[in-house]
Chains A and B, each alone.
Chain A
Amino acid sequence: MMENIQATLHKGPAVEASRPIKMTSKDVIVHYGAKQALNGITLDIPERQVTALIGPSGCGKSTYLRCLNRMNDTIDSAKVAGKILLDGEDVYDPDIDVVELRARVGMVFQKPNPFPKSIYENVSYGPKIHGLAHSKQEMDEIVHTSLRKAGLWREVHDRLDEPGTGLSGGQQQRLCIARAIAVSPEVILMDEPCSALDPIATATVEELIDELRENYTIVIVTHSMQQAARVSQLTAMFHLGDLAEVGPTEKMFSNPDDKRTQDYITGRFG
């Protein structure tokens, strides 16, 4: 298992230590009603890198991810404390607008959730509500580029008017990614984006993530350590609401400091 993971690591480039920090969080604590889900997470997310959040289920990694663009606001019982900064601004500051925030920090969900509309409308939805295109040509341009960036263009360019729900699972998820890209976010959050996909579709999406790294800061939650090893430069290990360890992916998988990380990546629990 270890060998396997280390073998995959050669694919990913080494972390550039001097990357500027895009988002940072200090002592983030989350309660769901009476239950505490996160016990103070402090983590820096470097710009234009893929940061993977790993850990056993229920460890709080999805909760943390949903804090980054305040998707937790949609859950009534969730209470968030601590500081999360995007380019130095606190995203939980009352002056910060949640709509604007989400336009900058996009999100892709676990289950592909295309709207029951055409492929074109799915992608153009974000730019339309944010008023990013001023003409039909501009909108076409955005849609085409986004679909191209999401590696979906070749497969769907001749049927943009067909419903997005008619695509296969992997295509649907790439459509959701295209939909997120179309808003031109600075950060893309991905919540186990491949967990509902088959291995081939997963490989396509992973390649896509690797390409997107050039332009976007990506935070990905994943169950699969191989995936973390394949796509990420930085890995953060969560355990029971705590951040167990964080470090360059290569180091995490070859020489972890924390006993829990070691146990987890060698498959002793999880």
Chain B
Amino acid sequence: MSTFTIIPIVFVIGLVGAVMAYRRSRALVGKDGVKMHSRPTYHASFVACWGIIPALLTLAVWLIVSPIVISTNVSGNFPEGVLAQSQLTEGLAYGIVESIGTGLRVLPDDERATITDTTPVADVTALLRNRGIPTASAATDWMVPLALQLNSLQFWSRWAMTLVVFVVAVAGTFWSYRQIAPRLRARNNVERIVNGALIAASSIAIMTTVGIVFSMLFETIDFFSRISPAEFFFGTVWEPRFSNVGSSGNAGSFGFIPLLAGTLYIGAVAMLIAVPIGLFAAIYMAEYADNRTRSIVKPLLEVLAGIPTIVYGFFALITVGPFLRDLSAQISGLVSGNYVSFIEAQSVLTAGLVMAIMLIPFVSSLSDDIITSVPTSLRDGSLGLGATRSETIKRVILPAALPGIVSAVLLTASRAIGETMIVVLAAGVAANLTLNPFEPMTTITVKIVAQLTGDLEFNTPQTLVAFALGMTLFVITLCLNVYALYIVRKYKEQYE
């Protein structure tokens, strides 16, 4: 039975238990002289919790553990020759076994019955091809029995899981139903469960971070076992070759430097434009604008923040890039008489400029918050001495708000580094190492997308490198974020 049928059935069991518990509880109240500790709804919830929660936990554990157990079992039966080789070969072989197994499940029953442990792999692939299921050419004879074993293990695991989950659900319901008595502190029990659920919900945030770190960590380690970290971090040539996938030949160069340079360059251009504009806009809104202007301008600027980044990317691709290219042609025409554009449509400048537009509202709303949280008493103190508004801002408010503004800038930088859609469409894919902002450069995020879109085998350096890139990106932004959050926290405490 599939997971999606098991879950509703578990719920039905729990709810039936709840209804019965409600009735029993009501019946107990009917007897005279009995004072119930909890109200019937709590008894019902108590039984429902016991029916549903343990069963679902069992299901979750089974779903996570069983694939690991099965794969260890199956790959334990690999021929000695394969086991002796690298993890990579073993992983590839397991992938092929898995795909044969999946293919076999799709075959009609009569055809599947003809396949035994001794069927040569050629016959199997022929059968599969008839049904339109492609298999890897590297499949060999010893894989057939293993594929059959894999299938039967999966089949029995599923049945056992269905059975166990239902038994747990019914047992939980039955046991808790038996507990119902006037003295049962059902409310307290239910509240304890609710509190547990609340804690579980809030730890999802931690689990997400752990998930991010571990999902990328394993793949990254895998990648570094094939390409040395020194080659990755200090290499200046980015040229992963897709043609050699699976073979042990040269996998190409994975130099990280051009990507990092492009990321930082484009980010710097964007920040150079966005930070002054955003900061001055925030200062004007916080210190000069009257309420009416504020109530109109602030939401309008926030519209910029609400526009999806793909829209900015399209804007860069269709409008800004061609505009800059044509503009540069005009300029060079006026200067030298030769109408050649010196800005390419996809360039550092295009991507930086459009990214800056996206970042302006981000800088301005963060700085606005920071500036308005500078206490009025400081403002009054300066104005009371006869300082002008701008003197007050420059000499009192900005210095006081400096830590906050620094953290706003760091958060903005983290955004710029992690931005994807704008650079995918506007920066180009060529991993150049150049100082000319009019030429295309590429970024970490662009390459993550490029390496992971398309149909690729998972266990190759070409795809694994995306995780190494992602890990690097995560670490950089994590440092920026945590440091920025730390500064802003200290800053807020100072004025509370």
Q: Do chains A and B touch in the complex (CB under 8 A)?
A: yes
Q: Which residues of A contact B (CB under 8 A)?
A: 69, 71, 74, 76, 99-104, 106-109, 111, 113-117, 125-126, 128-130, 176, 179-180, 183, 189
**B384 near A107 (CB under 8 angstroms)?**
yes
A-B contact pairs, 11 of them (CB 8 A): A74-B383, A76-B290, A99-B388, A101-B386, A102-B384, A102-B386, A107-B384, A107-B385, A109-B384, A115-B382, A116-B399
- Pair B400/A106 contact, Cβ less than 8 Å: no
Chain A proximity of B236: nearest CB distance (Å): 46
A71-B388 contact in complex given A113-B377, A115-B378, C-beta closer than 8 Å: no
Query: With contacts A69-B384, A113-B375, A125-B385 known, what are 20 further pairs, Cβ within 8 A?
Result: A76-B290, A99-B387, A100-B386, A102-B385, A107-B384, A108-B384, A109-B380, A111-B377, A113-B381, A114-B381, A115-B378, A115-B396, A116-B399, A116-B494, A117-B399, A125-B387, A129-B386, A129-B391, A179-B381, A180-B384
Q: Give, as a whole number of angstroms, the nearest-CB distance from B150 to chain A.
A: 68
Instruction: Decide yes or no whether B291 CB sits under 8 A from chain A.
Output: yes
Residues from chain B with Cβ under 8 Å of A106 in the complex = 384-386
Would you call B379 an interface residue if the criterion is a C-beta within 8 Å of the partner chain's C-beta atoms? Answer: yes
Dominant secondary structure at the B interface: helix
Contacts of B381 in A (CB 8 A): 109, 113-115, 176, 179
Residues in B with CB closer than 8 Å to A183 are 385-386
Docked complex Cα distance between A100 and B380 (Å): 15
Q: Which residues of B contact A99 (CB under 8 A)?
A: 386-388
Question: Roughly how many angstroms separate A266 CA and B346 CA in the complex, as a whole number?
Answer: 82
Please report the C-alpha to C-alpha distance between residue A183 and residue B386 in the assembled complex, in whole angstroms: 9
Q: Across the A-B interface, how many residue pairs have beta carbons closer than 8 Å? A: 75
Contacts of A102 in B (CB 8 A): 383-387
- Whether B395 is near chain A, meaning CB under 8 Å from some CB there, is yes
The one of A74, A103, A109 in contact with B386, judged by C-beta atoms closer than 8 angstroms, is A103
Q: Is the CB of B380 within 8 A of A179?
A: no
Take A76-B290, A76-B291, A113-B377 as given contacts and tell me if A180 and B385 are in contact as well, using a CB distance cutoff of 8 Å: yes
Q: Enumerate B247-303 residues with CB–CB distance to A below 8 Å.
A: 290-291
Instruction: State the CA gap A99–B388 with chains docked (Å).
Output: 6
With a CB–CB cut-off of 8 A, which chain B residues contact A126? 385-387
In the bound complex, do residue B384 and residue A71 qualify as a contact, i.e. CB atoms below 8 Å apart?
A: yes
Contact of A74 among B378, B379, B395, B399 (CB under 8 A): B379
Minimum CB–CB distance for B156 against chain A, Å: 70
| Beta-carbon contact of B377 and A129 below 8 Å | no
Query: Do the beta carbons of A74 and B387 come within 8 Å of each other?
Result: no
Q: In the complex, which of the residues B378, B386, B387, B494 contacts A113, with contact meaning CB atoms closer than 8 Å?
A: B378
- Docked Cα-Cα span, A118 to B384, in Å, equals 19
